[in-house]
Amino acid sequence: MSHDHPAPKGFIAYIQRWLFTTNHKDIGTLYLLFGFAMFFVAGFMSLIIRAQLAQPGMQLVNPATYNVLITMHGLTMIFGALMPIFAGFANWQIPLSIGAPDMAFPRLNNWSFWLLPFGFAIMMSTLFMEGGGPSTGWTMYAPLSTNYGPPSMDFLIVSIHILGISSILAAINIIATLLNCRAPGMSLMNMPIFSWSWIVTAFLLIAVMPVLAGTVTMMLTDRHFGTSFFNVAGGGDPLLFQHLFWFFGHPEVYILILPAFGIISEIVPTFSRKPLFGRTSMIYAILCIAVLSFIVWAHHMFTAGMLLGTMLFFMYTTMLVSVPTGIKVFNWVATMYRGALTFETPMLFAVGFIAMFTLGGLTGLMLAIAPADFQYQDTYFVVGHFHYALVAGTLLSMFAGVYYWMPKWTGYYCSEFMGKLHFWLSLISVNITFMPMHFLGLAGMPRRIPDYALQFADFNAWATVGAFIFGFAQLIFVYNMIKTMRGKTEKAPKKAWEAAHGLEWTVASPAPYHTFTNPPKIKADT
């Protein structure tokens, strides 16, 4: 008599398939869907913030709620949207690009994803707690966070621990996969640049997430267990919190941008019909950026008071980061130079990323100069700067990656018309939103305020109009994705961009490096 149970059917089987899956493609899809869902949640919060600032005297929400929205928008966008979306790209593409059957630890992969919804359920629950949600800003500076009464802060700390564990597990899995699961004959230097960007990002995650975990644990013990890490009355120092937070926070910026560099380094050569210019220098530039990211954190703290020698050290090292970053931008432009360029949607987003990220980098150089930073600090100039890096930069690279790999994932091309409409609306509205913020900051408008003086009204009105255009432009993206996933668009062949759009290696160059053997030795005259 057989004791085999019949396989579940219907809805239960569907739920089990996604709940217990260990397939890297399924988990990559889950990460992407979750990340974009949280992107819209955080984006909705930002639209409320911008509506509040549309004109002086507006009171859509009270100042306390406004501060909660500022806090949750930042945390949700970083930990809920940007990092999971990049993890989705990693899960989908890393095994495919190195010839691995799956990630090194498939069950760990499943667990690292499912920690995210639970962590964010706890974080979002703080919005409905007695006393209000956390209103400390996303940086959670002490002593405000340690003296802040409502329990929502404690739940926020727990959620950050859960999200940190998820990130560390995913990073361990990525490192193990890239070091141990490459196809025979593929050396580290032969790995695609996207894989290189992720192995460096994973090491950064493992290095800095425990620092954040330790910092919020110290916060928790200050709140409930009588310690005085950040309490001056007990011999502590609030500046210690800033040092610890930014030691995590600055490498975190590169955790958010290095995978974007990897995506752009895959797309630009494809649509230029040329191999990536200076491939080895690109890899070393990624490594340099990662190392330098650990020794520049105090440029966030120039106005907190530090010795002149210390200030100069952090100023010079911060400016030094622009060298490897400039190398990357130069190599992308050199790859396009004299290439047989076409501008399909992924390439448009890639070129848009290069232009916007470069602009964000230039304002970053301005902030790196210590005497000038005293003028810019805590103004809307800073908000404009990091949104050029993270919205006009990171987000455009994500859209580029989705449009580029969607034929690989679904077997169908996205609609080119809707993709290009999405690009132009996004690019124009991003500039309408964040460019005026630089001028607001230079004129002296402080950030994180629910109201402002009359002289800032015009630029704020422009920024609000741009934000709403950008928000609604993303609905075009959603419609395009749903249409593509349902197979309502043009069918893609196996080698999507090469075959359907005539992309060939038409220049006298070696074969692309995405092969599982060492690239052939090329003589100098070829």
Positions annotated as catalytic residues are 73, 102, 138, 166-167, 250, 252, 254, 265, 299-300, 325, 328, 447
In whole angstroms, what is the distance from residue 86 CA to residue 84 CA?
A: 5
CA end-to-end span of the chain: 71
| DSSP H/E element including 478 | helix 457-485
Residue 85 CB partners (closer than 8 Å, separation 6+): 31, 32, 35, 36, 39, 398
Residues 6+ apart with CB under 8 A from 165: 115
Look up residue 322 and give its two tokens.
């622009």
Residue pair 250/364 in contact (Cβ under 8 Å)? The answer is no
What is the C-alpha separation between 76 and 232, in angstroms, rounded? Answer: 31
Can you tell me which residue has the tokens 């074969």? Answer: 511
Rounded to an integer, what distance in angstroms lies between the CA atom of residue 301 and that of residue 314?
10
CA–CA distance, 318 with 47 (Å, rounded to integer): 32
Is the separation of the CB atoms in 77 and 158 below 8 Å? Answer: no
Cα–Cα distance, 467 to 430 (Å, whole number): 7
The C-alpha atoms of residue 165 and residue 396 are separated, in whole angstroms, by 27
Residue 334 and residue 269 in contact, taking contact as beta carbons nearer than 8 Å: no
Secondary structure of 442-470 in HEC code, one letter for each residue: HCCCECCCCCCCHHHHHHHHHHHHHHHHH
Q: What amino acid is encoded at 78 in this protein? A: I
Rounded to an integer, what distance in angstroms lies between the CA atom of residue 316 and that of residue 250?
A: 15
